[in-house]
Amino acid sequence: MTTAYALIILPIITGILSLFISSERLRRNLLLIVAFTHLFISIVLCKGGVGELNGVWIGLDHLGRLFLIITSLLFTGSAVYSMVYLDKHPHFDGPAIAGLRMPANSNAIYAACMQFFLAAMTLSILSMHFGLQWIGIEATTLASTPLIYYHRNRRSLEAAWKYMILCSVGIALALMGVFFLAMATSSHVQQFTSAGFALFSGYLKVEWLKVAFIFFLVGYGSKMGLAPMHTWLPDAHSEAPSPVSAMLSGALLNCAFLGILRIYQVCAAVPTAAAFANEILIVFGLLSLAISGIFILHQPDYKRMLAYSSVEHMGILALGVGIGGSAVAAALLHAVGHSLVKASLFLLSGNILAIYATKKVEDIKGLLRHSPLNGVLWLAGFLAITGTPPFTTFNSEFAILRVAVQSHNWTVAVLYLLFLLLVFIGMLTIFMHMTLGKKGEAEVDSASGESFWQLLTPVVFLSVALLLGLYLPEFMRDTINGAAMALGGKAL
């Protein structure tokens, strides 16, 4: 139990420390050490049996394990990438605001907020209590806003403001949901956790539960980037520094998704509420797919394209859970695949930005010639994100489709395929335009995007995504199946 608390408290302490460390080298090494320590402790915790950690406040069930490992892994990858990223960008010294003394420069704030961000995400994953989880998810917004504003220009300021306002309002609504959920309790419910509720599902007041679910979905859904509450997402993800974008897209969206899954777990135990929740999830999922498909077509900015692709994949997750059965397990597997692949793509987009110094698709040609390594990885990432075999994303997307067809959800299946096709076409034109073409059409600085640290994480993550597609290890299958069962689904 104490190790679980250490997982949350350690990054907070080191984060505060990094605000006061003046040596750039030391600060970065500290970030790396924290990342690997966090990953190590997470793995150790997840190796323990289920139920070892099962408190009123903090616990680690199958769902928690899955998301904890993804988050920790992604943070480590981003921290490794940050090593070189911070070198390439000028930082701002001195007090940021007249009158408010900031002890450190923007790189110190970056390192500190990254660690606070990690602590907040860990808290939101480990917390079993709905109130505590709310605190964690709101804290992720607070910790990540300064990260989005890292570049200190108008665009990043606008993105950070939108992010802050929209997500905070959304999360405030989720807090209403928490209060409504408290109304659904009966005297039997001792613990304000999903397991505590599910245990006495027969005594819950279904009407209040449904109201609570809607508020949770709208609230955490706006953080997760489900359409139509996604409007902040493309701005924030495209303006943030690439390692932060990778974290936002790969890890943070999952945490918000987990927030919805926790209440879904309660609904799943009550048949009428489950049917209601499934319907809404399917509608939001399809809507997200549709919106992202429309905006990816002819998207002029490749980081925004990646952001819309996140909206698409969040839609797939919601859809998978909504369809139910083994699609729930497939959706969870998809969350893993999406995180790995999208983080790689965002990091690669940082390399491309370093090489070409532009985010516009039309100005980028011949990536394969200018920087073969980045070009090949970028194409591999494209194949992975669009769900091409043998990547793991194919398996999960296909499994969701299979369940939709088997349960005779024809409308859903057809629309799902249609939107996936739309996204595929949109992304294909963009990726082809960027990678193909002759050399020498634009001024480039190939060397700045090809260092070891910049390529390490994408290579590792994409390889893992590929390997998971070919072979799903036993422990992972067990974790995913266990989580899916808790959500009322079937094993994969």
The residues that touch another protein, with contacts defined as CB under 8 A, are: 89, 96-100, 129, 131-132, 134-135, 138-139, 141-142, 145-146, 149, 151-162, 164-165, 168-169, 172-173, 175-176, 178-180, 182-183, 192, 205, 207-208, 234-235, 238-239, 241-242, 295, 299-301, 304, 350, 353-354, 357-359
Beta carbon of residue 324, minimum distance to another protein (angstroms, whole number): 28
Beta bridge partners of 58: 127
Which of residues 155 and 439 has its CB atom nearest to another protein in the complex?
155
Beta carbon of residue 248, minimum distance to another protein (angstroms, whole number): 15
Which of residues 189 and 483 has its CB atom nearest to another protein in the complex?
189
Which of residues 182 and 472 has its CB atom nearest to another protein in the complex?
182
Which of residues 141 and 395 has its CB atom nearest to another protein in the complex?
141
Scanning 89-129, the segments in alpha helix (DSSP H) are 106-126
Which of residues 183 and 414 has its CB atom nearest to another protein in the complex?
183
Phi-psi region of 387 (alpha: psi -120 to 50; beta: other; left: phi over 0): left
Question: Angle, nearest 10°, between helix axes 24-47 and 2-20?
Answer: 170
Beta carbon of residue 86, minimum distance to another protein (angstroms, whole number): 12
Contact in structure between 213 and 267 (CB atoms under 8 Å): yes
Contact in structure between 68 and 122 (CB atoms under 8 Å): yes
Beta carbon of residue 146, minimum distance to another protein (angstroms, whole number): 7
Which of residues 59 and 489 has its CB atom nearest to another protein in the complex?
59
Q: Which amino acid is at 170?
A: G
Beta bridge partners of 97: 100
Beta carbon of residue 168, minimum distance to another protein (angstroms, whole number): 5
What's the CA gap between 8 and 278, in Å, rounded?
33
Beta carbon of residue 464, minimum distance to another protein (angstroms, whole number): 26
Which of residues 120 and 383 has its CB atom nearest to another protein in the complex?
120
Beta carbon of residue 433, minimum distance to another protein (angstroms, whole number): 16
Beta carbon of residue 382, minimum distance to another protein (angstroms, whole number): 21
Of 181, 143, 176, 320, which Cα lies nearest the Cα of 262?
Answer: 181
- The CA angle 245-284-349, to the nearest 5 degrees, is 20
Beta carbon of residue 424, minimum distance to another protein (angstroms, whole number): 20
CA distance to 7, 125, 132, per residue, from 59 (Å):
12, 9, 12
What's the CA gap between 113 and 148, in Å, rounded?
10
Using the structure block, give the residue that is written with the tokens 């999406």: 338
Which of residues 284 and 295 has its CB atom nearest to another protein in the complex?
295
Which of residues 170 and 325 has its CB atom nearest to another protein in the complex?
170
What's the CA gap between 441 and 213, in Å, rounded?
53
Of 345, 464, 459, 453, which Cα lies nearest the Cα of 79?
Answer: 453
Which of residues 100 and 408 has its CB atom nearest to another protein in the complex?
100
Q: Which amino acid is at 275?
A: A
Q: How far apart are the first and last CA of the chain?
A: 30
Of 235, 217, 215, which Cα lies nearest the Cα of 226?
Answer: 217
CA distance to 86, 245, 391, per residue, from 375 (Å):
23, 20, 18
Beta carbon of residue 435, minimum distance to another protein (angstroms, whole number): 20
- The CA angle 314-287-254, to the nearest 5 degrees, is 15
